[in-house]
């Protein structure tokens, strides 16, 4: 591989994969990235994981779009097994940008004229920059004319954000993951950082070596168990039972922090009353944890001087995901474990810019900075900023949009960099919806599974080709810089959005993302004291930032919470069963997620040479006992069936898996896990239950 000496220049940027937001340097020669090295960023201190280090070559993959495409007449929309993304000419013809943009915008404006603004919707992308997210939601709100705009936060941490907004008044983390180094106790639950946030995992390992006691609560085992003082595996879907039993212990043994509760919270008496019957003995069978172990976890957390809770999608991706997060928030509030160094609540955000895209308003119920669309005063500020009246009704969410297409209510869509034909639950339903759209415009790097349903495909920019800011899980706003030129006839995403906006009659005239960032600052108080020039100098500034010469607040809410009266709120919960409990016909729990080497639907990492070589094939992970019971040899093919579909893939013997459960990564189109998943939604966050579906396993030769 190349070394620094072989490169003719270096460009500092940020990793495009996970929410850790590692700063990196691209080493470039002859407009090609030779290799990548870590930088001394605030969240990585020179470290990179395998994706950040080796997943840089996807933009030059042979299947990269070279020109705008328009669907050939008569070619049916959908996934054709004979379609070759590297040669899309069988299904699409090349077009000039002028023709493609006219066709893209023309189809959408015609549907709006015929059926009204709510016939259109847009999915923006947490892989794009803050500026592109801002422009995308602005286009939908001021051009399309509704709030039908969403993105993959809906599939990720929407329930966590719903609970945090309700209880604390803010949807972001209260402390960075580096604060784990200051904590005496760290609870990791429903997350697997060594796989999904690998550099954050190095901080947890470092903390454990320094004396922090890690407590891991999860149905599955994981690498970090080796660093934990206590690892507890509980029954899938029984999170609320376990956490409420911990709260019961904290109340019964008076381990709560009276002074903190009195000064900073409201609703503790209601919480106390709600958990009185949920003793460890009463909840033990439901959550599969012994009463004494529940007491032990509760005591360790409550009596620690400084304790933090980190969680991932094992918490959020349930029909009771918001309740799960409410419980974790109650634990922290009851024990006074927020607002000080080494304390806090931290949902580990998934995509590199899911925090920033959410902050920028890529959400159907709130304007930028989480300002509700129904609040006339807040809405008026944006109407003045954008000189356009805005819809006062919340729009539809990701999964709701698919239902609205089937119902004939939504007829046209713009999708930027998202891949719902792989990422949505119950893919037969989602793909059926995409095929029904009268007009679909996709801007992306490749003819993804979703783009195969498009009428017009617009070749967009990869992260190493663009300037822009992103916001990581720690609330750190960071600057990425273009390292290489756009290849072929690809264009920046912000430029594409501007051209579509102009065809909707909007007078947009941005010349560079820094001008968009300047406009964002007019509508987003969270960006106070953060300027493009400052980011060019410093690379990273954390919000909220109180002054131009401070790095921003790593830990927030020491004095007050951003709710009326400054108090956080307890939100009591009761255990609920999964939407689709296992039964005699479907006796095994299916859970889905990511792998270390692959990112989400694989559109980037499966086109990265090293990463694809490391993990080239879909596998289903099961316990050795489960494989024995099925009579399936490790490595032999296995068929998984749910009420929605069937896939066949190789089996992997994994001692970290509990009996009665199978794990499937969702990045492989040839064995798409989401053909199986349950689209039932959490009522508050509207997030699907990706972490629990009832399934049936069989040897492939018996299926």
Site residues (CB under 6 A) for ligand SF4? 15, 17-18, 20-22, 44, 48-49, 51-52, 197-199
In this structure, the number of other CB atoms found within 10 A of the CB of residue 701 comes to 9
Give whichever of 130 and 639 is closer to ligand SF4, judged by the CB atom: 130
Taking CB positions, which residue lies at the least distance from ligand SF4? 52
Residue 599: CB minimum distance to ligand SF4, A: 7
In the complex with ligand SF4, which residue's Cβ is closer, 330 or 352? Answer: 352
DSSP string, 410-462: --EEEEES--HHHHSSSHHHHHHHHHH-SEEEEEESS--TTGGG-SEEEE---
590 beta partners: 662, 693
Which residue, 85 or 480, is less far from ligand SF4 as judged by CB?
480
In terms of C-beta density within 10 A (0-12 exposed, 13-18 middle, 19 or more buried), how is residue 699 classed?
A: middle
Residue number, 324 or 351, with CB nearest to ligand SF4: 351
DSSP letters for 223-246:
GGGGG-SEEE---TT-HHHHHHHH
Q: How many C-beta atoms lie closer than 10 Å to residue 566's C-beta? A: 13
| Residue 46 vs 550, nearer CB to ligand SF4 | 46
Please name every residue paired with 94 in a beta bridge, in sequence order, or none if there are none: 69
Residues 630 and 580 sit within 8 Å (Cβ to Cβ): no
Q: Name the minimum Å distance from CB 34 to ligand SF4.
A: 17
Q: How far is the CB of 273 from ligand SF4 (least distance, A)?
A: 42
Distance CA 56, CA 282 (A): 51
The CB-of-358 to ligand SF4 minimum distance in angstroms stands at: 18
Minimum Å gap between C-beta 648 and ligand SF4 is 30
Biggest alpha carbon–alpha carbon distance for the chain: 71
Nearer to ligand SF4, 573 or 595 (CB): 595
Which residues 6+ apart lie within 8 Å of 573 measured at CB?
240, 244, 274, 320, 323, 326, 327
Shorter beta-carbon distance to ligand SF4: residue 608 or 639: 608
For the CB of residue 552, give the shortest distance to ligand SF4 in the complex, in Å. Answer: 19
Nearer Cβ to ligand SF4 (13/450): 13
CB of residue 62 to ligand SF4, shortest distance in Å:
24
User: 622 and 589 in contact (C-beta within 8 Å)?
Assistant: no
Q: What is the DSSP string of 484-495?
A: SPPPTT---HHH
Nearer to ligand SF4, 18 or 535 (CB): 18
Q: Judged by CB, which is closer to ligand SF4: 284, or 605?
A: 605
Q: What is the secondary structure of 577-620 as a DSSP string?
A: --SS---SSS-EEEEEE--SS--TTSTTGGGSHHHHHHS-S-EE
Distance CA 316, CA 156 (A): 7
Who's near 128: CB < 8 A, 6+ residues apart? Answer: 136, 353, 357, 416, 417, 468, 493
Interatomic CA distance for residues 173 and 349, integer angstroms:
9
Q: How far is the CB of 472 from ligand SF4 (least distance, A)?
A: 8
User: How far is the C-alpha of 37 from the C-alpha of 259, rounded, in Å?
Assistant: 48
Shortest Å, Cβ 566 to ligand SF4: 34
371 strand-pairing partners: 367
* Least distance in angstroms from the C-beta of 19 to ligand SF4: 7
Inter-residue contact 665 to 592 (CB < 8 Å): yes
| Shortest separation between residue 38's beta carbon and ligand SF4, angstroms | 7
d(CA 348, CA 156): 10
Rounded least distance, CB 198 to ligand SF4, Å: 5
Region of 655 (left: φ > 0; alpha: ψ -120 to 50; beta: rest) is alpha
Joined together, the tokens standing for residue 127 give 């892989």
CB of 688 to ligand SF4, least distance (A): 24
Cβ proximity to ligand SF4: between 92 and 177 the closer is 177
Helix (H) or strand (E) holding 391: none
DSSP 60: G
Asked if 562 and 168 count as a contact pair (C-beta separation under 8 A), the reply is yes
Residue whose CB is less far from ligand SF4, 203 or 311? 203
Smaller CB separation from ligand SF4, 15 or 108: 15
Minimum CB separation of residue 317 from ligand SF4 in Å reads 19
The Cα 89–Cα 83 span in angstroms is 9
Using alpha carbons, select from 57, 55, 56, 53 the residue that is nearest to residue 44.
53
Which residue, 473 or 677, is less far from ligand SF4 as judged by CB? 473
The residue among 265 and 478 lying less far from ligand SF4, judged by its C-beta, is 478
Smallest gap, in angstroms, from Cβ of residue 204 to ligand SF4?
12
Rounded to whole angstroms, the Cα distance separating 78 from 93 reads 16
């Amino acid at each position: 591989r190349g070394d620094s000496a072989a490169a003719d220049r270096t460009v500092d940027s940020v990793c495009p994969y996970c929410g850790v937001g590692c700063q990196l340097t691209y080493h470039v020669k002859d407009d090609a990235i030779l290799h990548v090295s870590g930088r001394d960023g605030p969240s990585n201190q020179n470290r990179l994981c395998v994706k950040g280090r080796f997943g840089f070559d996807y933009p030059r993959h042979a299947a990269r779009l070279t020109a705008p495409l328009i669907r050939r007449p008569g070619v049916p929309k959908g996934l054709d097994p004979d379609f070759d993304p590297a040669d899309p000419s069988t299904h699409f013809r090349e077009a000039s940008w002028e023709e493609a943009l006219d066709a893209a915008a023309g189809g959408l404006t015609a549907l709006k004229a015929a059926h009204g603004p709510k016939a259109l919707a847009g999915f923006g992308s947490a892989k794009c920059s803050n500026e592109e997210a801002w422009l995308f939601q602005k286009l939908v709100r001021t051009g399309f004319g509704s709030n039908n705009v969403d993105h993959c936060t809906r599939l990720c941490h929407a329930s966590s954000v719903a609970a945090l907004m309700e209880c604390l008044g803010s949807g972001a983390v209260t402390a960075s993951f580096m604060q784990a180094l200051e904590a005496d106790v760290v609870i990791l639950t429903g997350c697997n950082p060594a796989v999904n946030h690998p550099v954050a995992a190095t901080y947890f390992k470092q903390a454990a070596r320094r004396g922090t006691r890690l407590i891991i609560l999860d149905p599955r085992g994981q690498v970090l168990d080796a660093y934990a003082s206590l690892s507890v595996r509980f029954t899938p879907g029984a999170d609320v039972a376990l956490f409420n039993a911990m709260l019961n212990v904290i109340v019964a043994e008076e381990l709560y922090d009276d002074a903190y509760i009195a000064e900073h919270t409201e609703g503790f008496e209601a919480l106390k009353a709600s958990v009185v019957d949920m003793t460890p003995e009463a909840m033990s069978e439901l959550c599969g944890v012994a009463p004494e172990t529940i007491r032990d976890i509760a005591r360790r957390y409550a009596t620690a001087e400084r304790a933090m809770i980190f969680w991932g999608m094992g918490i959020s991706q349930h029909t009771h995901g918001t309740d799960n997060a409410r419980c974790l928030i109650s634990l922290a509030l009851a024990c006074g474990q927020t607002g000080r160094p080494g304390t806090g609540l931290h949902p580990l955000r998934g995509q590199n810019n899911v925090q920033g895209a959410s902050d920028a308003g890529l959400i159907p119920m709130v304007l930028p900075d989480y300002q509700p669309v129904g609040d006339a005063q807040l809405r008026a500020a944006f109407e003045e900023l954008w000189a356009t009246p805005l819809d006062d009704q919340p729009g539809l969410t990701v999964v709701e949009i698919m239902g609205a297409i089937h119902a004939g209510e939504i007829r046209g869509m713009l999708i930027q960099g998202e891949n719902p034909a792989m990422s949505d639950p119950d893919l037969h339903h989602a793909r059926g919806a995409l095929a029904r759209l009268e007009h679909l415009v996709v801007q992306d790097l490749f003819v993804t599974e979703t783009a195969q349903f498009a009428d017009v495909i617009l070749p967009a920019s990869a992260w190493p080709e663009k300037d822009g800011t992103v916001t990581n899980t720690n609330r750190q706003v960071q600057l990425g810089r273009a390292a290489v030129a756009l290849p072929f006839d690809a264009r920046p995403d912000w430029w594409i959005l501007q051209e579509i906006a102009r065809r909707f009659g909007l007078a947009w005239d941005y010349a560079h993302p820094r001008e968009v960032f300047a406009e964002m600052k007019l509508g987003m108080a969270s960006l106070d004291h953060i300027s493009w020039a400052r980011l060019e100098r410093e690379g990273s500034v954390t919000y909220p930032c109180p002054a131009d010469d401070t790095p921003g607040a790593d830990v927030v809410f020491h004095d007050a919470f951003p709710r009326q009266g400054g108090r956080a709120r307890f939100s009591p919960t009761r255990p609920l069963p999964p939407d689709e409990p296992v039964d005699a016909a479907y006796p095994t729990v299916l859970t889905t997620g990511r792998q270390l080497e692959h990112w989400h639907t694989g559109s980037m990492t499966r086109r990265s040479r090293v990463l694809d070589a490391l993990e080239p094939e879909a596998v289903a992970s099961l316990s050795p006992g489960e494989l024995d019971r099925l009579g399936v040899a490790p490595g032999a093919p296995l068929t998984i069936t749910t009420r929605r579909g069937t896939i066949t893939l190789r089996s992997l013997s994994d001692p970290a898996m509990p009996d009665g459960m199978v794990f499937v990564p969702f990045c492989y189109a040839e064995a798409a896990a989401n053909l199986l998943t349950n689209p039932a939604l959490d009522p508050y966050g509207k997030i699907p239950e990706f972490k629990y579906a009832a399934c049936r396993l069989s040897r492939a030769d018996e299926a």
